[in-house]
């Protein structure tokens, strides 16, 4: 695999709906980094399982992953709570993680030349995908705040779901993501903790920008 030298690599881990995606996008735009929301890949596979239950097997997933393009991940339907829940189930499987890992590693270490580096967010990015990242962040917020944010996002998408259902689903996903045996979500010692509960988007962005600027000596 090709590994570009002297690029800036940012690794972010976070529980569901902590605001990591919004921040990662803003950071990537500001520093001209190639951005990947890795949860979308697990959601993409979860959707295959829900949409094609009969065809769904390892061979089928392999062939879909081979032709997967970043633009396939931008579809709004992947954001549904049902797909998120299914993603946390299929992401426990070793064979699936292996497939997704090689896609992510290629993305992280070999971003297109026009970018100065890469920024990935997910659950195991800081210790499994980019263990040598220049910046490692663990972004979190209290569970009710996260549920409310996700509920508001789903409302905009006109999804038929209550706040209570979203809260329950996020609690279940936290339980599964933090406690699973393979690639559990955790804050590594070398990751900086960013709690977004009481901060707005701008304040969070400025906090992270300060950390990055210091690191890259701007």
Binding piece for ligand C5P, criterion CB under 6 A, among 52-60, 80-88, 105-113, 194-202: 80-88
Q: In angstroms, rounded to a whole number, what is the distance separating the alpha carbons of residues 207 and 156?
A: 28
From residue 102 to residue 141, the character string flagging contacts with ligand C5P as x (rule: CB under 6 A) and all else as - is --------------------xxxx----------------
According to the binding rule CB under 6 A, does residue 91 interact with ligand C5P?
A: yes
According to the binding rule CB under 6 A, does residue 86 interact with ligand C5P?
A: no
If we measure between CA atoms, which residue out of 203, 164, 180 comes closest to residue 15?
Answer: 180
Residue that has been written with the tokens 């690794």 in this structure: 11
Question: Which of 9, 28, 80, 84 lies at the binding interface for ligand C5P (CB under 6 A)?
Answer: 84
If we measure between CA atoms, which residue out of 106, 110, 102, 48 comes closest to residue 73?
Answer: 48
Does residue 10 contact residue 120 with C-beta atoms inside 8 Å? yes
Does residue 33 contact residue 118 with C-beta atoms inside 8 Å? yes
- Toward ligand C5P, which CB reaches closer, 95 or 114? 95
Beta-sheet strand order (sheet of 135-140): 33-37, 117-122, 8-13, 135-140, 192-195
Q: In angstroms, rounded to a whole number, what is the distance separating the alpha carbons of residues 190 and 131?
A: 10
According to the binding rule CB under 6 A, does residue 24 interact with ligand C5P?
A: no
According to the binding rule CB under 6 A, does residue 16 interact with ligand C5P?
A: yes
- Toward ligand C5P, which CB reaches closer, 5 or 106? 106
Binding piece for ligand C5P, criterion CB under 6 A, among 69-77, 81-89, 111-119, 196-204: 81-89
Q: In angstroms, rounded to a whole number, what is the distance separating the alpha carbons of residues 140 and 13?
A: 9
Binding piece for ligand C5P, criterion CB under 6 A, among 61-69, 83-91, 138-146, 160-168: 83-91
According to the binding rule CB under 6 A, does residue 150 interact with ligand C5P?
A: no
Q: Which residues bind ligand C5P (CB under 6 A)?
A: 16, 38-39, 42-43, 84, 87-88, 91, 122-125, 173, 177
């Amino acid at each position: 695999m090709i590994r570009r030298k002297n690029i800036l690599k940012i690794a972010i881990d976070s529980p569901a709906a902590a605001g990591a995606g919004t921040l990662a996008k803003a950071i990537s735009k500001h520093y001209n980094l190639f951005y990947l929301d890795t949860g979308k890949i697990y959601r993409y596979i979860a959707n295959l399982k829900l949409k094609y239950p009969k065809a769904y097997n390892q061979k089928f997933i392999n062939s879909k992953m081979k032709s997967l393009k970043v633009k396939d991940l931008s579809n709004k339907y992947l954001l549904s709570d049902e797909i998120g829940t299914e993603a946390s189930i299929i992401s426990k499987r070793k064979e699936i993680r292996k497939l997704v890992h090689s896609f992510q590693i290629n993305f992280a270490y070999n971003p297109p030349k026009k970018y100065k580096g890469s920024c990935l967010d997910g659950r195991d990015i800081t210790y499994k995908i980019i263990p040598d990242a220049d910046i490692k962040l663990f972004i979190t917020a209290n569970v009710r705040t996260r549920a409310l944010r996700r509920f508001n996002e789903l409302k905009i998408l006109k999804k038929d779901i209550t706040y209570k259902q979203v809260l329950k689903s996020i609690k279940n996903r936290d339980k599964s993501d933090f406690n699973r045996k393979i690639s559990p979500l955790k804050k590594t010692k070398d990751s900086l903790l960013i709690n977004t509960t009481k901060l707005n988007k701008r304040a969070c962005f400025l906090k992270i920008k300060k950390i990055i600027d210091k690191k890259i000596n701007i």
